[in-house]
């Protein structure tokens, strides 16, 4: 159905003008009255507005009064992410000076919908008439609960327990105990006799029978148990040691190369072992020097080739 929308008026306002009531709310199980706006409030919003479920709002008093200024400040600060942003126009239209709070601003009613009859967990009452009706309804319910509370009273006997006692059935004498028995031979079954039989006596049994017997050869063996205790004790000896701590002093040490005297050097150079050592290492040393020289020449040629 197309509903005309006038300039400066929202679609929701046009629907209200057309039907004379609030629009159909999603998930609402009962019609939403005029002046109520269902809202879903997050835990953060409930904590900020002090309307937490089952803490600030209970089943006995499921509503709180919130000033008009607090709503408008939250909408201005949080913008479109505010849970009360859809109700901004209703909050602004709420008359000032109604139910004046301590801060001098008017208060609106925020009600916790425990059963979510209106489709959300809370609903805002932006109508003075509906607010008075809701407050009066819960006030009357509270008075009814207070009046209906039962008070514990002492029990007063009117003689009924004596009538119950007279009608009760009790034992007037002791019980008789009978014990009946008969001989087993009178049961009708024949007595059974059991005897031993070898395994090979029954051809249907493929088992060997080995009965126990007493062997006289091992009759004189007796097993003896002896209690023997062993204890290992380590050999220890008391010993003590002590290190004397001396006073720390500054000490300097200097090393000098030890050289032979001129006579000792001449005697070593003329000795046959020294000359034999020189003859033995001469050829390897010359070969090593030649190899080093060739290596240096090769490195020099490579360097020249790179430079070119």
CA 49/CA 79 separation, integer angstroms? 16
**3-class secondary structure, 286:** helix
CA distance 125 to 110: 6
In total, the chain counts a number of residues equal to 308
Rounded Cα distance between 10 and 22, Å, is: 13
CB 79 within 8 A of CB 72: no
Residue 47 has pLDDT above 80, yes or no: yes
Least confident segment among 91-95, 98-102, 184-188, 266-270: 98-102
8 Å CB contact between 112 and 51: yes
Cα distance from N-terminal residue to C-terminal residue, the chain: 96
Task: Provide the 3-class DSSP secondary structure of residue 276.
Answer: helix
125-136 pLDDT, tens digit per residue, is 988 888 888 888
- Residue 132 class from Cβ within 10 Å (0-12 exposed, 13-18 middle, 19+ buried)? middle
Using an 8 Å Cβ cutoff, are 117 and 25 in contact? no
What band does 145 get if pLDDT is binned at 50, 70 and 90? Answer: low
- Residue range 51-70: mean pLDDT, rounded: 89
CB-CB neighbours of 38 under 10 Å: 23
Q: Is the pLDDT of residue 9 over 60?
A: no
User: Rounded to two decimals, what is the model's pTM?
Assistant: 0.41
């Amino acid at each position: 159905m197309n509903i005309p929308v006038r300039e400066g008026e929202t679609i929701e306002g046009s629907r209200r003008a057309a039907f004379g009531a609030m629009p159909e709310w999603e998930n609402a199980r009962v019609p939403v009255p005029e002046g109520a706006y269902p809202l879903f409030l997050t835990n953060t919003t409930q904590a900020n507005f002090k309307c937490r479920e089952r803490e600030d709002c209970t089943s006995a008093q499921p509503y709180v009064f919130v000033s008009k200024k607090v709503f408008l400040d939250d909408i201005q600060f949080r913008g479109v992410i505010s849970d009360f942003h859809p109700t901004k126009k209703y909050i602004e239209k709420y008359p000032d000076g109604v139910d004046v709070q301590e801060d001098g601003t008017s208060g609106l009613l925020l009600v916790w919908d425990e059963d979510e009859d209106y489709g959300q967990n809370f609903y805002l009452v932006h109508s003075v008439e509906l607010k008075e009706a809701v407050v009066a309804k819960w006030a009357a319910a509270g008075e009814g609960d207070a009046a209906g509370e039962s008070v514990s009273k002492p029990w007063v006997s009117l003689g009924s327990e004596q009538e119950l006692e007279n009608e009760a059935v009790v034992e007037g004498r002791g019980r008789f105990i009978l014990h009946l028995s008969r001989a087993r031979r009178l049961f009708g079954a024949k007595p059974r006799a059991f005897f031993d039989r070898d395994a090979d006596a029954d051809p249907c049994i493929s088992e060997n029978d080995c009965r126990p017997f007493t062997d006289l050869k091992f009759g004189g063996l007796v097993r003896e148990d002896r209690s023997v205790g062993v204890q290992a004790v380590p050999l220890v000896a008391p010993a003590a040691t002590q290190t004397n701590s001396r006073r720390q002093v500054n000490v300097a040490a200097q090393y000098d190369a030890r050289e032979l005297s001129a006579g000792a050097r001449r005697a070593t150079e003329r000795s046959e072992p020294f000359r034999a050592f020189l003859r033995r290492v001469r050829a390897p040393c010359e070969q090593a020097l030649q190899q080093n020289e060739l290596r240096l020449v090769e490195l020099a040629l490579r360097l020249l080739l790179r430079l070119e």
